[in-house]
Amino acid sequence: MNNNLFGYDHQNTWIHRLSGSSKLFFFLLVSIIAMVSYDTRFICLVLVLSLVLLQQSHIKWAQIRLVVKLIVAFSLLNLVMIYIFSPENGVAIYGTKHVIFGSGFYALTQEQLFYEINLALKYFVTVPLALIFLITTNPSEFAASLNRLGVSYRISYSVSLALRYIPDVQNDYQEISRAQQARGYEISKKGKLMARLTGAVHIIMPLIFTSIAKIDTISQAMELRRFGRNKKRSWYMQRPMTKNDDLVWVATIVIVIIGGWFFHIDGSRFFNPFK
Amino acid sequence: MNRKHLSIRTVVAIGIGTAIVFLLKRWVSIPSGVPNTNIDTSYGFLGFAAVLFGPIAGLFMGFLGHALTDFTMYGMPWWSWVISTGFVGLGMGVLHNHLGIEDGMFTTKKMVLYNVWQVLINLIAWSLIAPMGDILIYAEPANKVFLQGFVSTITNSLSTGVIGTILLASYAATKLKKGSLRKED
Amino acid sequence: MSEQSGIKFDHVSFQYYSQAEPTLRDINLTINAGEKVLIVGPSGSGKSTLGNLINGIIPHNYRGDLTGTVTVDGINVAQSSVFDLSLKVGTVLQNANDQFVGLTMAEDMAFGMENDDTPVPEMHQRVNQWADYLNLKDHLTQAPQSLSGGQKQRVAMGDVLIDEGDIMLFDEPLAALDPATGYQTIKLIDQLHSEFKMTVVIIEHRLEEVLTQSVDRLIVLNDGQIVANDTPDAILKSDVMQKLGLREPLYIEALKAANVDLNQVTHLDDVEQLAAPHLEQQLAKLATGDPKQPHAASQPLLSIQNLKFGFADQQPLFKDLNLTINQGDHLALVGQNGIGKSTLSKLITGFLTPNRGQISLNGQPLMNDSIKERADHIGYVMQDPDKMISQVLVKAEVGLGLKLRGVSDAEIESRVNAILKICGLYPYRNWPIAALSFGQKKRVTIASILILEPAVIILDEPTAGQDFRHYTEMMQFLTQLNRQGTTLITITHDMHLMLEYANRTVVLGNQGILADTNPVAVLSDTDLCQQADLRPTSLYQLATRFNLNPQTFTDLVIESELGGASHE
């Protein structure tokens, strides 16, 4: 379908019917608190909630398979790297050392295992939230949502323009890069690094200069239709706020308070079961 | 034009710039020769575009372009690095009033200024802001994130330096005055 | 309507800040409310500047010296703002794609209202109403990438119609459109004019299309001044157009070729109504000459066999396409927007890979060759030269292909110089490309392809956006290359170009080739034209009106015109 950069799926669940600004508000605040918190119980709570919402919004495995695979690969790589670089990071955080097996620097400790499990949970917890937002919100609502959350309408419209022109820029790039290949330029592993860099510039240069040349035309077209005339602007695709939206806002604030409350009990960001 | 607000041209520049950063991050990276390390061409463009359109445009192109890329690829932006890309745009945009590319002159002096400045900005962004963010937000171990930051400082400086310089020099050449040219037989 | 409504230029001159000379000089012009005027003039004559003085872009966005006053609906443009004027004057810019700023059609039409902070329900109601009027209702949620050129053009009109101003300004509305869509656009403009009593100002040089609907007044600009301001009938009778190198409609060229005295003709601005004593006999006499002999078939050069191709998730564009292009052909590839003309050329050059089929050159299969290897034999010139240029200097750009193929510097130097001489660019060899005109840049891109000595060159709309003088220069240059042995494939919407310069036309239709014949025969076949969205030229209309064979008639007029051109 159109505008499908983010995999927006036109359906009609209660989540789809929510205003984009409510979903953005929920997604941003909940993912920030879940990222900051290292309390396993709280993160699991948010994870369960987000999996329920994922199911509620009728998202199918096929729609998110690729993203999930990428994030799994990325997480595994990162977790292994952390172990290689700092196998005692968990010990440093939790202040105790319970060795499971092995000895010396790379001995596997309960603390390290627990720390890395927490980290993995944190990598995963925000993904369903982001996917729900992207798949259930029409991209045409993005800009309106940002504006309603207090971002200036000019910046909000920049986002809309970016979404509008990304497909054009992609098409232009394919055409231009192939025409440059025909001339003899290639992005390949062969040749010296400097030659590869300068080769790449010449492939992307026509794209960059023609795109920049468009900026004045587009600005003129927008001015001729009065963009920037008033302090406020309305949005054709903005959904009216409903009772459900109010509930989402309340729920968001409640979740943030719960997250904060866990900080209070733990006395820090970390939940420490070893004490 | 109203000074308090972004001009329409800046709004459009942010939109188009974001689209280009997105495209380059997603599709155009150059193998560096070291396994698993690619050179991200978007920083070359960002350095150039920020100089052309100023710090505010640079900040938002970098931030939005990187956030959109992460969103569509991983479902979730890696905020500490997204913020650092925004910082690179902001920092390089400071040169907007000092380089004066629009008048068609990109002298050796300006080229040196651009490159010294970009190394400094990339160093702050990738060896300081990004790793600190990783530690603060994700509580990752310091030695791991600082090594990653160090590698990114090198690859991103290469991109901002080589690609950005060529783009600026070529762009300045397109602004040459016609009066200075004579036909030759 | 009050006496003040309409547009008035009172001793207006304008000089851009960066220019040494004024672009407009002492313009006095009144366009009355409800009038429909057409402004023509060669490139650089100041037509767009004149238009920008009506919507306020000048003096509000461009620095420069303005003297005299421009008044629109009683308002002094210099003292108003672009914002306020936009509610009176709706401007439709040249490139419908670039002014499409919304993510979908409906949002784009609502854009102006959004900026006025109009309540959402009212926006929906007005968008629906105008989408209905413009026949766009089924496309409201579509993105610009999935709309055709004609649909985008109608959206661009909807964008400004929705403001319900009294004046519409069109700056080269036909530039990006194929002939059939161009004709529909002109008809729609006429409908707006008569239905809503709008004042319409059209800046356009494609007279053949614009004059298919009546125009109240024709204003001719040259070198910043108005050189003619009269009814189209009167101006077409004079020699103003010819003197300025502006293209007249084809039927007028036919009348001239038949030695008809234009001063005796009534309704000269309308091919369906024009009349003159002895007109029929004079035209008949012209049509009895012998048309030129068709080209003798020569060696097959490029052959495409059983080609199948479709984009993922879409209907196949080609199911089983077969085509042989001969040595020395100048083949015109035509057909409606989106039918696969560019796709076919990308398959030939290796930019895209077919699902099935063979492409071979001189009997050698090409399918395993890379893009770069194919480029040694088949050159591809894109429509927009800026998309191809990656070097600063002319010489470096032209020599690039050789440099990347490891040719020695000395050989590059001599071959570049030789090609630059052929292309008329040798005096500019050390110039930055940015300092060249559009037509010269286009020639740089052709030179940079030509230097690899390809057997075939594919050109995508080689004359788009150029005025008649530059158009003629470009086509004469290409014809010269063709005579020297380069086979040309030209993708074009321009029926004049096809008739005058191609020796063979391939019409693409749904899933394959609709026709492969000589250009005149294509335009004489009404069914074929309708199927492929081509529009017969006014020559065809003229011939049918007087019961002449359209094919022979067109052939002879074109021949006489080309003959005339070569005597210059």
Same domain, C503 and C395: yes
Please report, for the domain that includes residue C95, its CATH number.
3.40.50.300
User: Per the CB < 8 Å rule, is A168 touching C145?
Assistant: yes
Same domain, C284 and C324: no
pLDDT classification of C295: cutoffs 50, 70, 90 = low
Select from C342, C358, C352, C303 the least CA-distant residue to C326.
C303
Same domain, C227 and C134: yes
Q: Is residue C2 part of a domain?
A: no
**What would the mean pLDDT of C469-486 be, rounded to a whole number?**
86
Minimal Cβ distance to A236: which of C107, C374, C386: C107
Same domain, A171 and A53: no
Same domain, A215 and A110: no
Across the A:C interface, residue pairs with CB atoms under 8 Å apart total 166
**pLDDT at B177 (0 to 100):** 61
Distance from the C16 Cα atom to the nearest Cα atom in chain B, whole angstroms: 15
Q: Is residue A148 part of a domain?
A: no
Same domain, A133 and A159: no
Q: In total, how many domains does chain A have?
A: 2
User: Per the CB < 8 Å rule, is B19 touching A160?
Assistant: no
Select from C168, C239, C238, C244 the least CA-distant residue to C205.
C244
The residue of chain B with its CA nearest to that of A171 is: B23
Q: Is residue C405 part of a domain?
A: yes
Same domain, A11 and A132: yes
CA atoms within 13 A on the CB side of B73: 15
**pLDDT at B133 (0 to 100):** 92
With a cut of 60, say whether residue A225 has pLDDT above it: yes
pLDDT classification of A20: cutoffs 50, 70, 90 = very high
Q: Show which of residues 33-92 on chain B sit within 8 Å of chain A, judged by CB atoms.
A: 33, 39, 41, 44-45, 48-49, 52, 60, 64-65, 68, 71-76, 79
Same domain, C51 and C195: yes
**pLDDT at C278 (0 to 100):** 87
Domain map (residue ranges) of chain B:
8-176
Is the pLDDT higher at B76 or at C140? C140
Distance from the C434 Cα atom to the nearest Cα atom in chain B, whole angstroms: 5
Range of the domain at A179: 153-223
Same domain, A84 and A191: no
**What would the mean pLDDT of C148-168 be, rounded to a whole number?**
91
Select from A126, A115, A121, A75 the least CA-distant residue to A255.
A126
Minimal Cβ distance to C123: which of A180, A218, A236: A236
**pLDDT at B78 (0 to 100):** 87
Same domain, C222 and C325: no
Same domain, A41 and A116: yes
Q: In terms of C-beta density within 10 A (0-12 exposed, 13-18 middle, 19 or more buried), how is residue B30 classed?
A: buried
Q: Is C277 on the interface with B (CB under 8 A)?
A: no
With a cut of 60, say whether residue A155 has pLDDT above it: yes
Same domain, A18 and A132: yes
With a cut of 90, say whether residue C52 has pLDDT above it: yes
First to last CA, chain C: 51
Same domain, A93 and A160: no
Range of the domain at C231: 7-244
Same domain, C266 and C410: no
What single DSSP character describes residue B159? Answer: I
**ipTM for this prediction:** 0.91
Same domain, A113 and A48: yes
Select from C491, C469, C532 the least CA-distant residue to C330.
C491
User: Per the CB < 8 Å rule, is C435 touching B183?
Assistant: no
pLDDT classification of C233: cutoffs 50, 70, 90 = very high
Q: Is residue A27 part of a domain?
A: yes
User: Per the CB < 8 Å rule, is A198 touching B162?
Assistant: yes
Minimal Cβ distance to A162: which of B32, B48, B64: B64
What single DSSP character describes residue C247? Answer: P
Distance from the A198 Cα atom to the nearest Cα atom in chain C, whole angstroms: 11
Distance from the A85 Cα atom to the nearest Cα atom in chain B, whole angstroms: 6
With a cut of 70, say whether residue B181 has pLDDT above it: no
- The CATH number that domain B8-176 falls under is 1.10.1760.20
Q: In total, how many domains does chain C have?
A: 3
Task: Show which subunits contact B, needing at least 3 CB pairs below 8 angstroms.
Answer: A, C
Distance from the B46 Cα atom to the nearest Cα atom in chain C, whole angstroms: 19
Of the residues A5, A215, A219, the best mutation for testing chain B's interface (the one with the most B CB atoms within 10 Å of its CB) is A215
Q: Tens of pLDDT along C123-146? A: 999 999 999 999 999 999 998 888
Same domain, A212 and A180: yes
Q: Is residue C333 part of a domain?
A: yes
User: Per the CB < 8 Å rule, is B20 touching A208?
Assistant: yes
Q: Show which of residues 345-404 on chain C sit within 8 Å of chain B, judged by CB atoms.
A: 392
**Interatomic CA distance for residues A170 and B20, integer angstroms:** 9
Same domain, A76 and A191: no
Distance from the C480 Cα atom to the nearest Cα atom in chain B, whole angstroms: 22
Tokens representing residue C426 in the block: 């040798």
Minimal Cβ distance to A222: which of B8, B13, B140: B8
